[in-house]
């Protein structure tokens, strides 16, 4: 199961209380206050890890609490600090304060650490309040409470290239031809219910390709699967727009192209600024060449690279593989190396 948004609570440990004590021992003629300080509470630390590619583990464990500090004791013994806890999150996770909506941190690489909740400070024991004129203090402090936060975690997959298009446009089949990914492939709409990632090798270059569940007209209003997965497109550097030109699709490919662009713009205008490649897919099932030419002319008018492919027969696949690589590296210089594979 792919989970890309969850709400969790984190509670740092409270500080231990300071101790009120006086030293009264045989052979110790000058005793006095001996209350030790309380220990500090443990922190809650989020750590990005490549061992996770979904937020599913938070679905069944939404509460994370660090250990509180031990109370101070007599004979000036300081309480032990509470143990901090580390909470693993996938690379690509964005952390928000669920109450205010403020973005707290964005994990873009493995091994990053962010202390999201700080433990409370331990209280001072009465020995801390002794002075030359106040030699028997009874003052002592309670420990400070640790931070308590409700967080919203949002996962945006780290991929270099995203495949977008209508349902059943051939995105899943294409990613299976370009990479070792094995997504579910079937001849009905909305076969893909969650993003799939694949690592594509082109010579000595490697990039990550994402198959995004299909969009339909009105997706920004919640139709079909809506735009809930388009957040994963925001991090990508290149869009590959698949347009089904097969005779049996029953749709106008030019209209399909415009619909998808409108849905992308409705989600975020920045998506339209990303470099794009237009791909006419399923050409093996197209007897009317004008359908392919219409998409070719549309791409030319917009100044976009164009490829015609058939994932079933393999026609145009290698040309597209090298075309994506050339466009990606010419636009960005470097690509992600096997992130999320």
Residue-range domains of the chain with CATH: 5-155 (2.70.210.12), 161-332 (3.40.50.300)
Q: What is the pLDDT of residue 226?
A: 44
CA distances from 185 to 192, 300, 321 (A): 8, 31, 20
Q: What is the pLDDT of residue 171?
A: 84
Tokens read off for 312? 């079933």
- Give 10-residue mean pLDDT values along the chain (341 residues): 82 96 79 92 95 85 96 94 95 93 93 96 94 91 96 85 85 84 47 66 83 63 52 83 87 89 83 90 90 93 93 91 89 44 29
Beta bridge partners of 201: 206
CB 15 within 8 A of CB 41: yes
Q: What is the pLDDT of residue 64?
A: 97
Q: What is the pLDDT of residue 221?
A: 52
Q: What is the pLDDT of residue 193?
A: 47
Tokens read off for 180? 């070792």
Tokens read off for 96? 């928000």
pTM of the model: 0.70
CA atoms within 13 A on the CB side of 96: 12
Q: Which of 166, 185, 167 is nearest to 175 (CA)?
A: 185
Q: What is the pLDDT of residue 216?
A: 57
Q: What is the pLDDT of residue 338?
A: 36
Helical ranges in the chain per DSSP H: 56-59, 171-178, 253-267, 289-302, 317-332
CB 83 within 8 A of CB 29: no
**Separation of alpha carbons 180 and 265, rounded Å:** 31
């Amino acid at each position: 199961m792919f989970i890309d948004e969850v709400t969790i609570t984190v509670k740092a440990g409270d500080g231990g209380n300071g101790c009120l004590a006086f030293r009264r021992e045989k052979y110790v003629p000058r005793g006095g206050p001996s209350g030790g300080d309380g220990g500090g509470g443990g922190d809650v630390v989020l750590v990005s890890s490549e061992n996770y590619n979904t937020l599913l583990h938070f679905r069944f464990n939404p509460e994370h609490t660090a250990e509180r500090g031990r109370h101070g004791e007599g004979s000036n013994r300081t309480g032990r600090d509470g143990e901090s806890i580390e909470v693993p999150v996938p690379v690509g996770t964005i952390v928000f304060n669920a109450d205010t909506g403020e973005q707290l941190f964005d994990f873009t690489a493995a091994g990053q650490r962010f202390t999201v909740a700080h433990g409370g400070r331990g209280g001072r024991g009465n020995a801390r309040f002794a002075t030359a004129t106040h030699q028997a203090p009874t003052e002592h402090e309670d420990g400070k409470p640790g931070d308590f936060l409700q967080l919203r975690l949002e996962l945006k997959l780290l991929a270099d290239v995203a495949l977008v298009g209508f349902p059943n446009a051939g995105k899943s089949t294409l990613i299976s031809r370009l990479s070792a990914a094995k997504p579910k492939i079937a001849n009905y709409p909305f076969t893909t219910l969650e993003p799939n990632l694949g690592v594509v090798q082109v010579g000595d270059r490697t990039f990550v390709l994402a198959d995004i569940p299909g969009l339909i007209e009105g997706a920004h209003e919640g139709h079909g699967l809506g735009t809930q997965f388009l957040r994963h497109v925001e991090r990508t550097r290149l869009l590959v727009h698949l347009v089904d030109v097969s005779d049996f699709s029953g749709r106008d490919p030019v209209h399909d192209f415009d619909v998808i662009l409108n849905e992308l713009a409705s989600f975020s205008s920045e998506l339209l600024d990303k470099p794009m490649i237009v791909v006419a897919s399923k050409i093996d099932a197209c007897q009317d060449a004008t359908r392919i030419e219409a998409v070719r002319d549309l791409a030319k008018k917009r100044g976009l690279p164009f490829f015609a492919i058939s994932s079933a027969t393999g026609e145009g696949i290698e040309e597209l593989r090298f075309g994506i690589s050339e466009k990606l590296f010419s636009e960005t210089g470097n690509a992600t190396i096997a992130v999320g594979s």
